[in-house]
Amino acid sequence: MRFAARMSGVQPSAIRELLRLGDDPTITSFGGGYPDPATFPVTPLAAAYEEVLATSGRTALQYTATVGLPRLREQVAARLSADGSPTGADDILILQGAQQGLDFVAKLLIDPGDLIITANPTFLGALIAFNPYQPTYLGIDGDEHGLDTEALEAVLLGGTHPRFVYVVPDFANPTGTTMSLPRRQHLLALAQEFDFLVLEDTPYRALRFEGRDVPTLRSLDTAGRVIHLGSFSKILAPGLRLGWAAASPELLEPLGLLKLAADTQTATLSMSVTAHLLQEFDLEAHIETIRHGYGRKRDLMVKTMRDAFPTSVQVSEPEGGLFTWVTFPRGFDAADFMARVALPQAKVAYVPGATFFPVHQEANHARFSYSGVADEQMVDAVTRLGELLRAELGG
Amino acid sequence: MRFAARMSGVQPSAIRELLRLGDDPTITSFGGGYPDPATFPVTPLAAAYEEVLATSGRTALQYTATVGLPRLREQVAARLSADGSPTGADDILILQGAQQGLDFVAKLLIDPGDLIITANPTFLGALIAFNPYQPTYLGIDGDEHGLDTEALEAVLLGGTHPRFVYVVPDFANPTGTTMSLPRRQHLLALAQEFDFLVLEDTPYRALRFEGRDVPTLRSLDTAGRVIHLGSFSKILAPGLRLGWAAASPELLEPLGLLKLAADTQTATLSMSVTAHLLQEFDLEAHIETIRHGYGRKRDLMVKTMRDAFPTSVQVSEPEGGLFTWVTFPRGFDAADFMARVALPQAKVAYVPGATFFPVHQEANHARFSYSGVADEQMVDAVTRLGELLRAELGG
């Protein structure tokens, strides 16, 4: 059967097969990027569903505006305003999760062959969303301060012209690193000078458990060059599928047309209930609790890894989010080790890092999530893995 | 700002502006395709939300499989099996409304310039979903038995080659007509002979209030050429945003990859609650009630129109669904009449028919929905409109 040319970039992902291992109860999986379900506000949500269905059920079950429920747009705008970028309800498009924003931005901007620049490595889900639009990619290396904007500038000066640069500035997936303020400012200056847009994806931004917030790219942008994506998945629950885009009107209006084309609107009931919840429930206190929990989990995982793993293995210590990024010595293949040793002998899964690189895949990394495994099980699994790594690598 | 080439086909629709008139309480709008909110099973849904959140809230709020919740896939498959096409859970992809299936099928199959054949006129939302993939269109006229497959065959024999033919075989939007069994069989024979796929969209299929069901294209298809879309929007509630695709594995698998790329998955909670509801609730009895209600509404609207409108105006009498299609004499412009007369003088809105034609727009039609306006208000508004039409057209 002949498919459209774009489908050549839409292939089953090895990582998805791997993540199915998370369903095997004998495997301890650090692979999923799932938030800890113990953090979901189940009882307040149940009360909100009851209240909304009792008082305005018929409206909440009917079609509504494609751009989203006005009250929820206002509430999201208020949160962005409180986070440093004055935003009105009209600047917000409610999405079926931030993932949908990744799809729409590429659909809006990318003709086949157009260039997207990302951090190297970057969020796999973004590459999956962008691929059907047949972009070319360039990955820019980073360090503990995020994407190296000097390296980006050098590339731009060489004549490379991206349609947009995609970044997860806060506690990036997969590396856990946060872009520094000077780099954010530099990125925006480059966007203006070299005429490209910046796609800022912030699913983990509220989950800082250490250090101080760095201003969002959106809050630093004076030229309307930032499309900002956010999500309720990690601060309420992913099963609601609620996210948003914030952008200038000339970008938001065509994104809204793509929303109409793609799925008419996000579920009215999910939006109504979330709007009700945000009014009745102390979301900031809830986020504070989540942060403390993940901070404790990160401490435990990083400490256990540093004790158990050989000294040749580097473990990142993110200030927020869900992930630590582990770098093995050059020549080590994390995927091969997992299939050959970690899974069969330690019953431990993680995500081999190669999959997160848009162009040249580096085999000697792995992403571990500390959000989803109970403390004792985490310590045991990391310790077992450490023994096998010492046997493999020495040290 | 430069957008991708595909955005030239993504434009604000005049009809959307028009439908906003539905929010003006002084206007009686027959424009929306909204189901009657009085039919929504609010109380059973509230009980299902309460039960699911109380017993499995954390699971129901977590991420789940991209293709959809296994139990809901089974239930949808069982309904399709009961409707004449033996279907397994693995043949089902759960979607964010059937609209999302229209997006994905075009994304899967259409390279710029590829041909889509539709009925003439056809569902505007389908054209909106297809447009970003830059198809060309051919509309095939129909009659009271649906798309004229003899005319289609003539076009195919002339060398025209569509990637797929899109049809709403039951109570089509906007015409309300149903494809006869011989035409369905002919369409599938042509699909096999001329090597194209058939996209069968069935949002209104369960809403038959007169006559006998005609087998679905999927149930008649022996060659795996039908992609079947369905929706809970008109039999439960649109605010849940739940639909499905059923197709052969070689089509369903890449559609699932597009689902992953576009929005990861449909909302776990919506799927869990709907699965629970389908187990606890007599959906077929519920649909029977909805059918009777819409049948009564159709009778009232068609009778009132035939009494009030000039004899030169034809009013279709659909056997199901939400719409009647009104055809005015040649030379009459339904959009102009609405703006100039119907809205200011009668405070009545409908959808001018031109917007539903993929290529050559015919101005002398209008779509009226009988689902959303209370009886007395409907009769008054249609009667007022009839007086103005008689003044305009005579008779």
* Statement to judge: residues A178 and A327 lie in one domain: no
Which of A61, A132, A237 shows the shortest C-beta gap to B61?
A237
From A46, A251, A267, residue closest to B50, measured CB to CB: A46
Of B222, B209, B207, which Cα lies nearest the Cα of B168? B207
Query: Using CA atoms, how far apart are residues B146 and B120, in angstroms rounded to an integer?
Result: 10
- At residue B15, the pLDDT reads 64
How confident is the model over A295-301, as a mean pLDDT? 97
Q: Are residue B120 and residue B82 in the same domain, yes or no?
A: yes
Is residue A40 within 8 A of residue B58, CB to CB? The reply is yes
B170 and B52 within one domain: yes
**B interface test, pick of A235, A264, A268, A369 with most B CB neighbours within 10 Å:** A264
Instruction: Give the dihedral of Cα atoms A79, A85, A86, A87; nearest 10 deg.
Output: -60
Instruction: Using pLDDT thresholds of 50, 70 and 90, give the confidence band for residue B269.
Output: very high
Residues of B in contact with A253 (CB under 8 A): 12
Average pLDDT over residues B249-270: 97
Q: Measure CB to CB from residue B254 to each of A3, A16, A62 and give the nearest one.
A: A3
Residues of B in contact with A6 (CB under 8 A): 107, 111
Rounded Cα gap, residues B288 and A35, in angstroms: 42
What are A97-115's pLDDT values in tens digits?
A: 999 999 999 999 999 999 9
Which residues, 6+ apart, have CB-to-CB distance to A311 below 8 Å?
Answer: A395
User: What are the angstrom distances between the C-alpha of B262 and each of A244, B66, B390?
Assistant: 14, 10, 50
Note if the bond before B169 is cis, omega within 30 degrees: no
Angle at B110 between CA B108 and CA B116, to 5 degrees: 120
- Do A4 and B241 lie within an 8 Å CB cutoff? no
Asked if B260 lies within 8 A of A16 by C-beta distance, the reply is yes
- Tell which of A280, A310, A345 closes a domain: A280
Per the CB < 8 Å rule, is A42 touching B63? no
Asked whether residue B195 falls in the same domain as residue B138, the answer is: yes
Chain A residues in contact with B114 (beta carbon < 8 A): 4
Q: Beta strands B92-95 and B243-246: pairing type?
A: antiparallel
Amino acid, single-letter form, for residue A354: A
For A204-220, what is the mean pLDDT? 97
Same domain, A276 and A315: no
A82 and A19 within one domain: no
Nearest to A60 among B64, B96, B239 (CB): B239
Distance from CA of A375 to the nearest CA of B (A): 19
Query: How do residues A263-274 score in pLDDT, each as one tens digit?
Result: 999 999 999 999
Please say whether the beta carbons of A109 and A82 come within 8 A: no
B131–chain A nearest CA distance, Å: 8
CB contact under 8 A, B49 and A54: no
Q: Number of helices (H) and strands (E), helices first, in chain B? A: 13, 14
Indicate if the alpha-carbon torsion angle A82, A87, A88, A90 is positive or negative.
negative
Which residues of chain B neighbour A95 with C-beta distances below 8 Å? 263
pLDDT at B279: 96
Residue A319 belongs to domain with CATH number: 3.90.1150.10
Are A258 and B131 an interchain contact pair (Cβ–Cβ within 8 Å)? no
Q: Do B263 and A99 touch (CB under 8 A)?
A: yes
Identity of the amino acid at B26: T
Residue B113 sits in which domain range?
A: 42-280
Q: Which of B252, B280, B308 finishes a domain? A: B280
pLDDT digits 0-9 by tens, B93-148 = 999 999 999 999 999 999 999 999 999 999 999 999 999 999 999 999 999 999 99
Token look-up 């009647």 returns B324
* Rounded Cα gap, residues A107 and A130, in angstroms: 8
Nearest partner of A251 among B368, B7, B71, judged by Cα = B7
CA-derived radius of gyration, chain A: 21
Cα–Cα distance list, A283 to A39, A85, A291 (Å)? 12, 19, 12
Nearest-angstrom CA–CA distance, B71 and B279: 10
Chain B residue numbers touching A109 (CB-CB < 8 A): 3-4
Query: What pLDDT score was predicted for residue A344?
Result: 92
Q: Do A7 and B254 touch (CB under 8 A)?
A: yes
Angstrom distance (rounded) from CA B19 to CA B24: 10
Please give the residue of chain A at the shortest CA–CA distance from B3. Answer: A109
**Which of A103, A133, A241 to mutate to probe the B interface, most B CBs <10 Å?**
A241
| C-alpha to C-alpha distances, A327 to A14, A124, A343, A364, B345, nearest whole angstrom | 20, 18, 18, 6, 73
Select the residue of B131, B238, B260 nearest A261 (Cβ to Cβ): B131
**Pairwise CA distance, residues A105 & A167, whole Å:** 13
Chain B residues closer than 8 Å to A265 by CB = 241
What CATH number did the domain enclosing B178 receive?
A: 3.40.640.10
B27 and B111 in a single domain? The answer is no
Q: Measure in Å the smallest separation between the Cα of B356 and chain A Cα atoms.
A: 15
Q: Do B46 and A57 touch (CB under 8 A)?
A: yes
What residues contact A43, with CB distance under 8 A and at least 6 apart? none
- For B45, the closest of A10, A35, A53 (CB atoms) is A53
Q: What is the ipTM of this complex?
A: 0.96
Supply the angle between the helices A181-194 and A149-157 in degrees, to the nearest 10: 10
Q: Which residues of B touch A261 (CB under 8 A)?
A: 10, 103, 128-129, 131-132
- C-alpha span between A27 and A20 (Å, rounded): 10
**Same domain assignment for residues B17 and B75:** no
CB contact (8 A) between residue B241 and residue A114: no
Report the run of H or E that residue B229 belongs to, with start and end. strand B226-231
**What are the structure tokens assigned to A239, written together?**
């099963």
Give the contacts of B158 (CB within 8 A, at least 6 positions apart).
none
From A264, A280, A296, give the residue that closes a domain: A280
Tell me which residue has tokens 């590429």: A106
Task: State percent of chain B over pLDDT 90.
Answer: 94
Q: Chain A partners of B251 at a C-beta cutoff of 8 Å?
A: 1
Candidates B114, B241, B258, partner chain A, best to mutate (most A CBs within 10 A): B241
Burial zone of B145 (CB within 10 Å; 0-12 exposed, 13-18 middle, 19+ buried): middle
- Identify the CA nearest to A229 among candidates A381, A65, A101, A130: A101
Q: Using pLDDT thresholds of 50, 70 and 90, give the confidence band for residue A337.
A: very high
The enclosing H or E element of B368 equals strand B365-369
pLDDT in tens, A118-168: 999 999 999 999 999 999 999 999 999 999 999 999 999 999 999 999 999
Confidence check: pLDDT of B25 > 80: yes
Which of B32, B57, B100 comes nearest A46 by C-beta?
B57
Nearest-neighbour CA in chain A from B62: distance (Å): 5
Q: Are residues B50 and B193 in the same domain?
A: yes
Residue ranges in chain A assigned as alpha helix (H)? 14-19, 42-60, 70-82, 98-109, 124-130, 149-157, 181-194, 217-220, 249-263, 268-280, 283-308, 334-337, 375-393
Lowest mean pLDDT among A49-58, B16-25, B361-370: B16-25
Residue (of A107, A216, A115, A208) closest to A167 by Cα position = A216
- Pair B104, B132: CB distance under 8 Å: no
Q: What share of chain A is helix, strand, coil (3-state, %, to 5)?
A: 50, 15, 35
DSSP-assigned beta bridge partners for residue A201: A229
* Same domain (yes/no): A21, A108: no
Cβ(B286)–Cβ(B45) below 8 Å: no
Based on the domain organization, do B386 and B369 belong to the same domain? yes
Q: Do A190 and A289 sit in the same domain of this protein?
A: no
Flag whether pLDDT at A95 surpasses 80: yes
Distance CA A297, CA A372 (A): 9
Question: What whole-number percentage of chain A has pLDDT above 90?
Answer: 94
SS3 for A203-233 is CCCCCECCCCCCCCHHHHCCCCCEEEEEECC
B61 to A46: CB separation less than 8 angstroms, yes or no: no
The tally of domains found in chain A comes to 2
